[in-house]
Structure 1
Amino acid sequence: MDTNKTQKLAVLIDADNAQPAIVEGLLAEIAKYGTANVKRIYGDWTSTKLRGWKEHLLQHSIQPIQQFGYTTGKNATDSAMIIDAMDLLYTHNFDGFCLVSSDSDFTKLAARIRESGLIVYGFGEQKTPDPFVAACDKFIYTEVLRSEEASVDESFNRMSTNELKQDTKLVKLVRNAIEASSDESGWAHLGQVGSYIAKQSPEFDPRNYGYKKLGELVDAIQLFEIEERSTGEGQSKAIYVKDGRK
């Protein structure tokens, strides 16, 4: 499914596993992918633990869903959120879901939504278990959102060229994407490279390395050639990349 701003999205937030400091950055990020037609947040609102969230709910029109903690530990909130997600899925009114949690309990939910042909955006901390990350079409680490909101990169310092070159997983990912997307001359459109990377690695984000755009990151690695080409339509330009070894 193409990601564009006409997508109708359901945003479901696990208040027990998400920090209120992300809310501004979270909603701004979601707006890149579509319109949040539903915004719900789940937790025990009688608890003082969620006090930090309460001031944001009215301001951002996020509907709190009360879920009492009937037992200590696990996990009435997860169950309520999963049931609501399935109800919303069966309405056929949405193009995708945004699941905000660092909890692996939502892995099967993400997979089930994708089986129905809808896109899933996951949002969670770096500690989020790999199975949940892999179950999403795209996964955004919330440390990035907090950093952007504060205009300071606290968790993702910009990596140097030497550090990027030594990141063999990153270099291999970019090389494979260029090879898969390139024409006979070895040049690949940067947009197609980005699309290929997203399919291979849902958690990939240039901001994880301290760069805002994929082109900036690829340029900083200094193992690839970059070329701007005129599209022939006014002043617009397209960026192409090539493996520097070829």
Structure 2
Amino acid sequence: MTDDSTRLAVLIDADNTSAKLIKEMFDELAGYGTITVKRAYGDWTNPHLTGWREVLLGNAISPQQQFAYTVGKNATDSALIIDAMDLLYSGNVDGFAIVSSDSDFTPLATRLRESGKRVIGVGQRKTPKAFVEACERFLFLEVLAGSGVDDPDESELVKGEPTRPIESVLTRALQKVDTDDDDWTPLSALGNHLRRTDPSFDSRNYGFSKLGELVRAQAYVETKTVTGSNGNGQLWVRRKPRRPAAEPAEETSAKKAAPKKTAKRAATKSAKKAINAPRQAGRP
């Protein structure tokens, strides 16, 4: 659900970001609030950024020029960080979207969150985990692309850490969230836990547009819909109860044979008593 009262500043490291998925990025960020600041940082005299021209104009992004004064030093990063701190102290925004795959922005994301601001990161899968974890949410550009990257020039986008097995992710989360007496938990609570523990978690990483669709497709969990007092249905989920393990054939045979042995012993004792009874009766 979109929170229109949340004002977002989108700060783009153009030197480290492809211009091809910016429209999809803004569409996604619109779900987090109203975008009031759009700035892109880079050395616009560099031919490498030529493809940004139409994107800047078409999305009303303000370009921030930063010359590379010294080889090996990134003036773009410094300018973006300075502007972010200025916006923080101005009090005119409630959250930041930092668009970059550069780990140098990890301290910035940490500082902004310490000040109570929302921080949404946007970058490629190759983004270092430190930066991903420093953000409240992290969106992968490959996911926003939908079908993936078809341009050979963007082949580097597919690099990065592999997606964790979904069974491991869901099982661990279901063990941590609050449940009722029968281990059922609301899907909303599960989703909140997944996002808190992994800012980059997204059901689209696993080929599903929504978390509910992802959960329903897993054979090891079961779901049910609970209708609330307002008439709306809420999806609940739990891991399927494990069936008791089958007993080994040897143990089963032994248990079956046990009653027979007991009955045989009882019959033997009865026979002995019948034989000894006359002898005991004839004693003085």
Return the TM-score normalized by structure 1. 0.88
Question: 1: distance between equivalents of 2:58 and 2:81?
Answer: 25
Q: Who is 1:240 aligned against?
A: 236
* Cα shift at 1:97: 0.4
What is the 5 A alignment of 1:4-153? 4-147=3-146, 152-153=147-148
* Cα shift at 1:178: 2.4
Q: What number of residue pairs does the alignment pair up?
A: 229
* Cα shift at 1:188: 0.8
Identify if the C-alpha distance between structure 1 residues 178 and 27 changes in structure 2 by more than 3 Å, giving closer, same or farther: same
When Rg is computed on C-alpha atoms for both structures, the one with the higher figure is: 2
Question: 2: distance between equivalents of 1:93 and 1:239?
Answer: 38
Contact 1:226 1:241 in 2 (8 A): yes
Question: 2: distance between equivalents of 1:8 and 1:134?
Answer: 22
Contact 2:2 2:30 in 1 (8 A): no
Q: Who is 2:270 aligned against?
A: none
Q: Using CA pairs below 8 Å that are at least 6 residues apart, which structure has the higher relative contact order? A: 1
Identify if the C-alpha distance between structure 1 residues 184 and 3 changes in structure 2 by more than 3 Å, giving closer, same or farther: farther
* Cα shift at 1:168: 6.6
Question: 1: distance between equivalents of 2:169 and 2:205?
Answer: 14
Relative to structure 2, which stretch is displaced further, 170-179 or 120-129? Answer: 170-179
For residues 186-208 of structure 1, what are the alpha-carbon distances to aligned partners after superposition, in whole Å with 9 as ceiling and x for unaligned?
A: 11110111001100011111111
Question: 2: distance between equivalents of 1:193 and 1:230?
Answer: 18
For residues 209-234 of structure 1, what are the alpha-carbon distances to aligned partners after superposition, in whole Å with 9 as ceiling and x for unaligned?
A: 11111111112222111112222324
Question: 2: distance between equivalents of 1:242 and 1:171?
Answer: 12
Q: Who is 1:163 aligned against?
A: none
* Cα shift at 1:31: 0.3
Stretches of structure 2 that go unaligned for 5 or more consecutive residues are 151-162, 243-284
Stretches of structure 1 that go unaligned for 5 or more consecutive residues are 156-166
Relative to structure 2, which stretch is displaced further, 170-179 or 115-124? Answer: 170-179
Contact 2:101 2:127 in 1 (8 A): yes
Question: 2: distance between equivalents of 1:231 and 1:154?
Answer: 42
Letter in structure 1 aligned against 2:192 = S
Contact 1:21 1:146 in 2 (8 A): no
Relative to structure 2, which stretch is displaced further, 193-202 or 50-59? Answer: 50-59
Q: Who is 2:211 aligned against?
A: 214
1:193 aligns with 2:190: yes
Question: 1: distance between equivalents of 2:241 and 2:95?
Answer: 39
* Cα shift at 1:35: 0.8
Q: Who is 1:229 aligned against?
A: 226
Partner SS state of residue 51, structure 2 = helix
Question: 2: distance between equivalents of 1:16 and 1:210?
Answer: 30
